[in-house]
A and B are shown apart, each in its own frame.
Chain A
Amino acid sequence: MTEAHIPTFAPEVIGHIGSVSITNTMINAWIAMIIFLFFGLFLVKRIALRPGRLQNGCEYFLEGLFGYLDQVTGGRKETLRFLPIVGSVFFFILLSNWLGLIPGTGSITAGHAPLLRPANTDLNLTVAMALVSVIASHIFAFGTIGFFAHANKFIQIGTLVKAVKHGPIGIFTALVECMVGIIEIVGEMAKVVSLSLRLFGNIFAGEVLISVISSLVAFLVPAPFMLLELLVGLIQASVFAMLTTVYLTVATSAPHGAEQ
């Protein structure tokens, strides 16, 4: 039995470039980036109307993903519109999670810290992605339903002004709606927190589990847990992508009563 290296919440700094700290999660993110870059260049070179095996496999996978996304967005057109965000998030999270399972992650060290660590065990990255998803949903909403229509979901001054004509009950209803708007703002913050902490928590927990199991019995025993992590990686990528799609779809739909 070896000494268990339990990862800390904060990613370990393994070096510096100038004043910039380089963490092991950044190394993992860069590896993912390089894999995507080479894969993309390779794919772009070979892409054709009559697909080869690689392109066919990619398209098959993409069609499957589109099928799920279509159920949320309600149509292929919307799915393709949200794809730059949703697709990037999904594939990046999936690859980052799976990269955490390659041999050497957590065991190869640079100084006292592991050289590699799954990118999503860094809350900075998960918060960044969650922020991008939520902010993108608002940008899409402004572009789709208009700035004031979307802003009125949160700051319902327009509703309050209109309610003056309907007397005390109307004003009371508008005040309630204003309060709901404030709750909506809190809800938007909660989205970022829930998205980032869910992903971080799941992947971090998996990393801790594998670290502990590997330190207890290094041979064969961690394999089922690694397979489980493979599944968790896919599920977490799907959950993040699906929730992003839901936020985008909800944000770009007209507010209640807009058609009246």
Chain B
Amino acid sequence: MEEDLQIIEASGEAHETALSSLGINGQLFVFQLINFAMVAVIVWFLILRPLTKKMEERRALINDSLDKAKEVEAALAMSEIKFQERIDDAKAEANKIIEQAYGEARNLGDDMKGKAKREIQLLIDQAKRNIQIERDDAMQQVRAEAGTMIVASVKKILGEVLDEKKDKKIIDDVLTKI
């Protein structure tokens, strides 16, 4: 029993000696652990965390900007589509108006042509009537002149003055013959 205890003690001491020869020491280990913990705290809280935080902030900002740029791009594309639609609508409207204007112009032209024709017809009719009136007047004058000439001729031939009654009779006879 004692021998066993001695062996255990001896192996424990040997183990301790091996660790000591490598420099392992409980107190030093704890202090180095504390040193490392302090370094970790300093490195994390003073260097790594502020840097990563700032990098994340910047990344978020860039992503937001990119998203906004995409939104603006989409809005622009939408505006362009709407603009194109409006332009197309306006073109269609303009074409319709032009078409309508052509139609109206054609109708107006036709109306004006008709009106002009009617006016011309009226003018022609008027002129014809005037010609007829002038012709009638001329005929009237010719008849009157002819009557006068006949009376004068008869007076000369017959050498007598006819009374008004005879005058009229002779003129009428001649005129009816004419």
A residues adjacent to B (C-beta < 8 A): 8-11, 20-21, 23, 25-26, 29-30, 32-33, 36-37, 39-41, 43-44, 47-49, 51, 55, 58-59, 62-63, 80, 83-85, 87-89, 91-92, 119, 122-125, 127-129, 131-132
Contact = CB atoms under 8 A, between A and B. Distances in A.
B25 to A, nearest CB: 6
B54 A11 contact: no
B81 interface: no
B27 A59 contact: no
Contacts of B51: 43, 47, 55, 58-59, 62
19 contacts: A9-B21, A10-B20, A10-B25, A23-B28, A26-B35, A29-B32, A33-B35, A44-B50, A47-B51, A49-B58, A58-B51, A59-B54, A62-B55, A63-B55, A88-B44, A123-B22, A123-B24, A125-B36, A129-B36
Given A83-B52, A84-B44, 9 more contacts: A36-B43, A43-B47, A47-B50, A47-B54, A49-B61, A59-B55, A83-B48, A84-B49, A124-B31
Q: Main secondary structure on chain B at its contact with chain A?
A: helix
Interface of B: 20-25, 27-29, 31-33, 35-40, 42-52, 54-55, 57-58, 61
A30 B34 CA distance: 11
A88 B32 contact: no
Contact of B42 (A20, A40, A122, A125): A40
Nearest to A197: B22
Contacts of B23: 8-11, 122-124
A125 B55 CA distance: 32
Contact of A49 (B42, B52, B57): B57
Contacts of A63: 55
A92 B61 contact: no
Given A10-B23, A127-B24, A43 B32 contact: no
B39 A36 contact: yes
A33 B39 contact: yes
A85 B35 CA distance: 14
